[in-house]
Chains A and B, each alone.
Chain A
Amino acid sequence: MRTRAGRGPAVGRAPLRLLLPAALAVAFLTLPLVALLTRTPWSQLLGRLTSQAVLQALRLSVVTSLAAVAVVTVVGVPLAWALARLDFPGRSLVRALVIVPLVLPPVVGGVALLTAFGRRGLVGAPLDTAFGLTLPYTTAAVVVAHTFVALPFFVLSVEGALRATDREFDVVAATLGASRWTTFRTVSLPLAGPGLLAGLVLAWARALGEFGATITFAGNFPGTTRTMPNAIYVELQSDPDAALVLSVILMAVSVAVLALLRDRWFDVAVQGAVRR
């Protein structure tokens, strides 16, 4: 008789040489978080939270991460749709390109952004001479950096969700006289809703925590480009308690995201991202 595969006593005791390293891994993952919580100056939390530097960083982070999510949605949904619904040559190449920022070290991403949009960059130089526009070291640059790292999460999540919906629904809609745009708007997108939400939350969380690309491409100026992660980096050297407070806030956000995504969307999104 089969009990729950491999779990019951039927197949024997779990070997210590597997259990010990597993326990070690759990301890290793939780210990830093516990330490962070125990060292946080809770009595000063409220005072720290309302300090000028923290508020500024918090506000900037919220604004830039939400702006990035907006950009990600506007370009990411169409890209996900194209990847999921259109057969075009080089589709796998496009998908590979989309995934690159996922595995690229964020600092390298920042350097790459500089070479493209920097004052002497591929696109940045003509922009500068033509319109006097310079991107690096501005709040807009923060949004650009966030978008760069968050877009792949979103596209993969939404593409997975679109693929998971039956393509026959597109056929049905067409026979009922709907244009492809109408079908996308009234059928495909609503059906992919949970995946879309999961993608949004994942992208937002990724943008909120973004450090490497931001500090490389946008710098670390209070009020304009000093986001929460940047502020943590700075405060750690001057005022470790402030760094702890900021860290706890970001951690709380992460836990909240995890709790939000715990349901089926998370499975959908992760499976969508992992399946390819």
Chain B
Amino acid sequence: MSDPFLDAHVVVRRPAHTLDVHLRAEPGEVVAVIGPNGAGKSTLVRALAGILPLSDGHVVCDGETWEEPRRGVRVEARRRRVGMVFQQGLLFPHLSALRNVAFGPRSRGESRGDAETVARDWLGRLGVGDLAERRPGQLSGGQAQRVAVARALAADPRLLLLDEPLSALDVGVAAALRLELARHLARYEGASLLITHDALDALTLATRVLVIDEGRVAQDGSPDDVARRPATDHVARLVGLNVLRGVSADTSVRLPDGSVLVTATPARGEVSASFPPSAVTLTAGEPVGSARNRWRASVTSVAPHGSSVRVHLDAVGGLIADVTPTSSARLGLVPGASVWATVKATEVSVYGGEEANR
């Protein structure tokens, strides 16, 4: 058997916790890393990038040993061919989008002209070619993150590390960028690691999911596998999404039962629309707020779920709602009870379907 493209055993000992994770990936693979805060996701990324030294283990990528403390091997971060996308984007605020993206090729020794040609190409591929001369301060969150992705890819990395790239964005913007990211990741020839706390990211973008808990791998499998048979409560909660399938026209998704789900993301064709249980609000009487998605439902089951209460409802083929114990008591939620469930259009993520308007 040939050696894997990325072969890492990352051991980082910290006073508070130890990270000990085995990770392998082949070219073209997108490995989603999910786990609760403090599980060691960011530590893993930083160790692979060479920003944080390993205490033990090894990192080998594309046949090159990047780090192996026992043999005293350590390649500096800048000599590893790693591209990183950060949650906050972290574009250099004093440089234009173009020069941000040209930074990598420039640092690797290309002439300014060549670097800018590469940069223009990448900005174009990410759909922000017309924003090349703008400073980061003049870009929206979604635009800035596109530039950040272009910047990471323009440096021609062997390993792409995405540290919660969508979590700082609005739901609609994140949905649009998620689609595009999926396309770029599918085309990317190196291995990608996607840190996320969003099950949707993990299930739509990844070819494999690595679940980390308390510094160790709790589960390693296909997205489908992990979603169906979550090994940790965290993942169970993460993937406990409400997913509705239907046909979308602009911002309305017609569901199989004939009702319409209003979203904030224009899309066309067969789509999946999802929203987390925490986005579902329950009221006793017909709701009066601005939420346009409302269903009359009866409670099928009620169970404690972490610090909240998970309520299963019989509306639109089965909905899950998370409510606080207080409202559960106030609404008298017992099986058979009748309630109204509402979801704001902005809480709904839409994916699949034909190319969304950008």
**Chain A interface residues (CB < 8 Å from chain B):** 166, 168-169, 171-179, 182, 186-187, 190-191, 193
In the complex, the answer to whether B103 meets A173 with C-beta atoms within 8 Å is yes
What is the CA–CA distance of A174 and B50 in the complex, to the nearest angstrom? 9
Contact check: which of A166, A171, A173, A191 meets B107 at CB < 8 Å?
A: A173
In the complex, the answer to whether B93 meets A177 with C-beta atoms within 8 Å is no
- Which residues of the other chain, B, contact A171 by a CB distance below 8 angstroms? 49, 51, 77, 84
In the complex, the answer to whether A175 meets B92 with C-beta atoms within 8 Å is no
User: Which chain A residue has the least Cβ–Cβ distance from B156?
Assistant: A177
User: Which chain A residue has the least Cβ–Cβ distance from B151?
Assistant: A176
- Which residues of the other chain, A, contact B92 by a CB distance below 8 angstroms? 169, 172-173, 187, 191
Contact check: which of B78, B88, B90, B94 meets A191 at CB < 8 Å?
A: B94
Q: Mark B276-310, 1 if CB is under 8 A from A, else 0.
A: 00000000000000000000000000000000000
What is the CA–CA distance of A166 and B92 in the complex, to the nearest angstrom? 10
User: Which chain A residue has the least Cβ–Cβ distance from B82?
Assistant: A175
* A210 shortest CB reach to chain B, Å: 34
What is the CA–CA distance of A34 and B195 in the complex, to the nearest angstrom? 65
- In the A-B complex, the 7 residue pairs with the closest CB atoms: A177-B107, A176-B104, A178-B107, A174-B77, A175-B84, A177-B108, A190-B94
- Which residues of the other chain, B, contact A166 by a CB distance below 8 angstroms? 90
* A176 shortest CB reach to chain B, Å: 4
Q: Is the interface of A mostly helix, strand, loop or mixed?
A: helix
* B283 shortest CB reach to chain A, Å: 33
User: Which chain B residue has the least Cβ–Cβ distance from A170?
Assistant: B51
What are 13 A-B residue pairs whose CB atoms fall within 8 Å in the complex?
Answer: A168-B90, A172-B84, A174-B76, A174-B77, A175-B78, A175-B84, A175-B155, A176-B78, A176-B107, A176-B151, A177-B104, A177-B155, A178-B78
Is B86 part of the contact surface with A, judged by Cβ < 8 Å? yes
- Which residues of the other chain, A, contact B51 by a CB distance below 8 angstroms? 171, 174-175
The B81-111 residues at the A interface (CB cut-off 8 A) are 82-84, 86, 88, 90, 92-94, 103-104, 107-108
What is the CA–CA distance of A195 and B90 in the complex, to the nearest angstrom? 21
What is the CA–CA distance of A35 and B104 in the complex, to the nearest angstrom? 61
- Which residues of the other chain, A, contact B77 by a CB distance below 8 angstroms? 171, 174-175
* B155 shortest CB reach to chain A, Å: 5
- Which residues of the other chain, B, contact A174 by a CB distance below 8 angstroms? 50-51, 76-78
- Which residues of the other chain, B, contact A193 by a CB distance below 8 angstroms? 94
